[in-house]
Structure 1
Amino acid sequence: MGKGEGTGAAGPVPWVPTREQVARAGSLTVPDVLARGLDVVLVGINPGLYTAAVGHHFARPGNRFWRALADGGFTPRVYSAFEDGALLELGIGVTNVAARASASADELSPEELVRGGRLLLEKLQRYRPRWVAFLGIGAYRAAFSKPRAAVGPQPEMLAGARVWVLPNPSGLNAHYTQERLGQLFAELKCAIDGSRPSSRSRSAAGSHGTRKKLSQSV
């Protein structure tokens, strides 16, 4: 039986939604995890119904996002989806191209993705991350009219942020093994680390721990 989310000493307490809660989640959205000046904002396609039901990003069992994030060196261990807000302390944000929850990303229309891309650009202009990484090449191609985009670094920038494309970490994406996902996430991590400003610049800008949290979600 599902239950409402509680808060323990270490943060939100994980819980499992009922089938009824998942079925009703189509009207729900997942809050963004964003703050100014992050190293990278990771952009999903849109929330699945399970994720929307619990209100935390990439929450569905079987989604490989959290394992890939750890394998790629972004987190010191495999985080729970219920710890998504803690990513801000690591300089990482999370949002989606489209806010509408659905059983499958295939349910999104091209118009929704284009509209979502415009809204995402506004967020990037507000929060000014150094990098933005899309978790799903199809959504990036559709949202920004880049039909030939491939996985990896992109030549263009968005609101001053360097752009990278990663595969969709859904367990349904059989084109990439968990090991390969980890390798691709690690390539992005190396690129981010290699582009960091000098220690003097970082000191002037302040550490991640002192950033003001402006909004939190997925």
Structure 2
Amino acid sequence: MTPEDLEAARDRLVPDVVADGLDVLFCGINPGLLTAATGHHFARPGNRFWPVLHASGFTPRRLAPAEQGELLAYGLGITNVVARASARADELTDEEYREGGRVLVEKVLLLRPKWLAIAGVTAYRVAFGDKKAKIGPQERTIGETRIWALPRMAEEYGRLRAAVSDG
């Protein structure tokens, strides 16, 4: 992938990997340029999402970004708070986060996952106007869907996995 290829992917949209009634809908901040260029979520080499997903027990093996469709068989999906691709999250405005939060609420009400897991407590705080949110399960729900704010660490993903297993 050349720098020109990556720049050409700026502002592209990446389709969600979703289905009705998932156990967990994982939610990134927004797609990076490599994700937009490839069409595969969390595509940047070194991104910890795929290894952490496996290390925490959500998947029986480490999936590659190109295998993202297999998540649905495990009751998992992927979306983003902000749909447009950028090189860095700091290119996004607070209004984009807030609008993304509104769109995310509509998506969750339609798809009804058991959990919405937002990878980034800061993104959650801005999108949902909850300045005091901490890592972990949130008091807020969207319909029947519970929310968990995640860092990118296997331990916290493991805690979410245990909560999913407990019902």
TM-score bracket, normalised by the shorter chain, equals: over 0.9
Alignment of 1:1-218 (within 5 A): 17-167=1-151, 169=152, 181-195=153-167
* Residue 27 of structure 1: how far off its partner (Å): 2.9
Cα distance in 1 between the residues matched to 2:6 and 2:124: 27
> Match for 1:59: what amino acid?
A
Cα distance in 2 between the residues matched to 1:160 and 1:114: 21
Q: TM-score, normalised by structure 2?
A: 0.98
Larger Rg: 1
* Residue 19 of structure 1: how far off its partner (Å): 2.3
* Residue 20 of structure 1: how far off its partner (Å): 1.7
- For residues 63-116 of structure 1, give each alpha carbon's deviation from its aligned partner in whole angstroms, at most 9, with x where no partner exists: 100000000000011100001111000000100000010010011000000000
- For residues 28-78 of structure 1, give each alpha carbon's deviation from its aligned partner in whole angstroms, at most 9, with x where no partner exists: 111000100110100000001111110010000111000000000000111
Cα distance in 2 between the residues matched to 1:183 and 1:127: 27
SS of the aligned residue for 2:5 comes to: helix
Structure 2 gap segments, 5+ residues each = none
* Residue 159 of structure 1: how far off its partner (Å): 2.6
Q: TM-score, normalised by structure 1?
A: 0.75
Aligned to 1:203: none
Q: Percent identity?
A: 51
> Match for 1:186: what amino acid?
G
Cα distance in 1 between the residues matched to 2:9 and 2:82: 15
- For residues 165-214 of structure 1, give each alpha carbon's deviation from its aligned partner in whole angstroms, at most 9, with x where no partner exists: 101x3xxxxxxxxxxx111111000000001xxxxxxxxxxxxxxxxxxx
Q: CA RMSD in A?
A: 0.8
SS of the aligned residue for 2:14 comes to: coil
Structure 1 gap segments, 5+ residues each = 1-16, 170-180, 196-218
